[in-house]
Amino acid sequence: MPKIIGSTLAEHREQVRCRLFRALAQLMDTAGFDTLTMSDIAAEAGVGRTSVYNHFADKESLLLAYIEHETSTFLAQLREALATVTDPEERLRVYVRQQVQLKATYHLAPGPDLRSIVSRETLRRLREHVREVERLLREILTDGIEAGRLPDQDLDAVVPLVHACLTGRDVPREPHERQRALVATEDFVLRAVGAA
């Protein structure tokens, strides 16, 4: 009989899921997702291999749950950071800052691009999470346009361009260099969308 972690079965399930998410993230820092096995993930998490299958049918469903969890956490933190900010330009700066900080802590796995190795259904669901984040950026830009602080623009074109800028570059690890890169990125994005 496997050992129960936590005081209730629900707590146990949540703690095992968190262990599996941490294990997956740690392993993907050094190995491509395509090379990982459920046994690798179970061993890294310190849980039995059969226990993994009680939570996830395969490593793709684990990956999807992990990304859903990370996206939900990021969106909650981003909304909290934006909650008291009313100035459209400052809201955009907060958005950029949060995205850059996320990029500094969340690394893509080495190996083939995940989009080329997951199923179409998983890819569709992963895109839904990107759209949630994009919707928030669209709201920020729309508010800036309606307030007269940003020029009218084609948000269908602009939103993906802003995201490409934010996700397409490496973030320095050294604090001073990271801060310099952050300020430069904020300024660049604000100029790109036409902020004064």
pLDDT for res 153:
97
With a CB cutoff of 8 Å and minimum separation 6, the contacts of 15 are: 5, 6
Collapsing DSSP to helix, strand or coil, 136 comes out as: helix
pLDDT for res 17:
93
CATH superfamily of 58-192: Tetracycline Repressor, domain 2 (1.10.357.10)
User: Domain coordinates of the chain in residue numbers?
Assistant: 1-56, 58-192
Cα(62)–Cα(22) distance, rounded to whole angstroms? 11
pLDDT for res 136:
93
Q: Are 1-56 and 58-192 equal in CATH topology?
A: no
Give the pTM: 0.78
Return the CATH fold of 1-56: Arc Repressor Mutant, subunit A (1.10.10)
Residue 193: CB atoms within 10 A of its CB come to 24
Q: Specify the length of the chain in residues.
A: 196
pLDDT in tens, the chain (196 residues): 356 565 677 888 899 999 999 999 999 888 888 889 999 999 999 998 888 999 999 999 999 899 889 888 889 999 999 999 999 999 999 999 998 887 655 545 556 677 777 888 888 888 887 888 899 999 999 999 999 999 999 999 999 999 988 876 677 888 899 899 889 999 999 999 999 7
In one letter, which amino acid is 101?
A: Q
